[in-house]
């Protein structure tokens, strides 16, 4: 039979087989390009990757988890380190908006956020991803703390949440063409609230 001549890729248990995982992720990217978010399914990925659905679900517990990894693979957002917090945050937001605007990742992430409102597995996957991104953005604030730009009692994670809330609102309302002057104004207002005294 044809199925026997082209067997599914074999897994090695809970630990990922790098070759199989790469094939699955490449298949997921291809299905997403061809069918869009609405047409994306684990079944379609399994067929394209010649992998078993149980293997995919062993490594990615939900469609949302797989899509988030695809999103992260595609994400190319530079985080500036200019030595000035305002320039770092403005540059980061400009780069993030451009990435969401110029690639399919913006619509994918927007759809994931929407699905997380009604799907618990999607909400869990998104919360895990957001936690990691929160820590990553907080590093920008930590650097500024080390330069004494930011008051010592400021919580970098909370500041990261404020930056993310601004970015996510624009993503969800598809307003990703904010001019630099507007982004700079938002960052300026934020920094007025966290600046170290005497600056």
Q: Which residue has the tokens 């999103």?
A: 71
CB atoms within 10 A of CB 156: 20
**Mean of per-residue pLDDT scores for the chain:** 88
Q: Is the dihedral of CA 183, 185, 186, 190 positive or negative?
A: positive
- Mean predicted confidence (pLDDT) in 7-20: 58
Percentage with pLDDT > 70 across the chain: 91
CA neighbor of 90 nearest in space, from 78, 107, 102: 78
Q: How far apart are CA 81 and CA 86, in angstroms?
A: 10
> Is domain 2-59 annotated with CATH 3.30.1120.10?
no
CA neighbor of 111 nearest in space, from 31, 172, 39: 172
pTM (two decimals): 0.80
| pLDDT tens-place string over residues 122-161 | 999 999 999 999 999 999 999 999 999 999 999 999 999 9
Q: How far apart are CA 12 and CA 196, in angstroms?
A: 53
Q: Is the dihedral of CA 135, 155, 147, 168 positive or negative?
A: positive
pLDDT at 3: 37
Assess whether pLDDT exceeds 90 at residue 13. no
> Is domain 76-194 annotated with CATH 1.10.357.10?
yes
Q: How far apart are CA 198 and CA 84, in angstroms?
A: 16
CB atoms within 10 A of CB 152: 7
> Structural domain boundaries of the chain?
2-59, 76-194
Same fold yes or no, 2-59 and 76-194: no
First to last CA, the chain: 75
């Amino acid at each position: 039979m044809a199925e026997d001549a082209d067997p599914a890729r074999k897994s090695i248990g809970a630990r990922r087989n790098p070759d199989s995982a790469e094939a699955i992720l490449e298949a997921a990217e291809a299905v997403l390009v061809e069918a869009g978010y609405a047409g994306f399914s684990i079944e379609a990925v399994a067929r394209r990757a010649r992998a078993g659905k149980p293997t995919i679900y062993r490594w990615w517990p939900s469609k949302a988890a797989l899509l988030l990894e695809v999103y992260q693979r595609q994400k190319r957002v530079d985080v500036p380190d200019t030595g000035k917090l305002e320039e770092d945050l403005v540059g980061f937001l400009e780069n993030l908006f451009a990435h969401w605007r110029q690639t399919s990742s913006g619509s994918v992430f927007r759809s994931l956020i929407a699905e997380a409102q009604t799907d618990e597995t999607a909400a869990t996957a998104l919360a895990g991803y957001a936690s990691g991104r929160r820590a990553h953005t907080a590093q920008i604030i930590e650097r500024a703390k080390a330069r004494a730009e930011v008051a010592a009692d400021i919580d970098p994670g909370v500041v990261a949440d404020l930056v993310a809330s601004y970015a996510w609102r624009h993503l969800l309302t598809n307003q990703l063409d904010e001019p630099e002057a507007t982004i700079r104004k938002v960052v300026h207002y934020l920094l007025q609230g966290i600046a170290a005294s005497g600056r």
